[in-house]
């Protein structure tokens, strides 16, 4: 790490970060945080605070903790990738889940459209059962097959599952984007976004 003064920063001001973060942890506004401050291409402050997990076990935060930014992934990565695929003619808003995931047994679920997924009107609940652990494409498919529509199409939410379908567990190929683009998602994102 560089000395804050070497890049024109005030070390005393940076020292105030710890007190602010610890106060928010004490007030239960957040379980933990990682703060990294850089300037002119140099890191001048890097520190982990609190915990990265509270349930089912408490795990201390580390400076190399990888955060799930799913709330940003939906509008920034998923929707952007889908729009790029639409622009390329590889995907249409009225394409159905069944076109990309024929393994789904529920005929009504197969008729859910990309537009309904993007507008939270597919009829699915907002998320998979978070108590059930799964990884990779096969695990996601098994979990998706168990999911039932909770409302008529045109109502309900599915955007979180859409994010999982498109981005899954960051090591496997993603369904809609992968099947539509026929490339690994990392290559798609770096070459197209």
Q: What are φ and ψ of residue 61, in 5° steps?
A: -70, 145
Q: Are 70 and 91 in contact (CB under 8 A)?
A: no
Residue with tokens 């108590």: 131
Residue 161 contacts residue 127 (beta carbons within 8 Å)? yes
Out of 6, 53, 71, 108, which one is annotated catalytic? 71
Question: Is the distance from CB of 110 to CB of 104 less than 8 angstroms?
Answer: yes
Does residue 71 have an active-site annotation? yes
Task: Residue 91: name the closest of 180, 8, 20 by CA.
Answer: 180
Catalytic residue numbers read 71
């Amino acid at each position: 790490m560089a000395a804050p003064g070497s890049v024109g920063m005030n070390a005393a001001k940076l020292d105030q970060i710890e007190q602010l973060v610890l106060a928010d942890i004490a007030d239960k506004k957040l379980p933990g945080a990682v703060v990294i401050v850089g300037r002119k291409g140099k890191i001048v402050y890097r520190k982990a605070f609190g915990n990265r997990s509270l349930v089912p076990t408490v795990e201390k935060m580390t400076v190399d903790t990888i955060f799930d930014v799913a709330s940003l992934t939906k509008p920034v990565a998923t929707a952007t990738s889908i729009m790029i695929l639409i622009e390329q003619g590889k995907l249409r808003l009225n394409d159905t889940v069944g076109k990309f995931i024929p393994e789904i047994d529920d005929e009504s679920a197969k008729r859910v459209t990309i537009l309904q997924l993007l507008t939270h009107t597919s009829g699915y609940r907002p998320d998979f059962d978070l108590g059930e652990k799964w990884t990779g494409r096969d695990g996601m498919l098994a979990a998706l097959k168990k999911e039932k529509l909770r409302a008529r199409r045109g109502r309900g939410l599915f955007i979180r599952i859409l994010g999982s379908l498109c981005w899954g567990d960051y090591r496997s190929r993603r369904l809609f984007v992968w099947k539509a683009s026929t490339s690994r998602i990392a290559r798609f994102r770096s070459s197209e976004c």
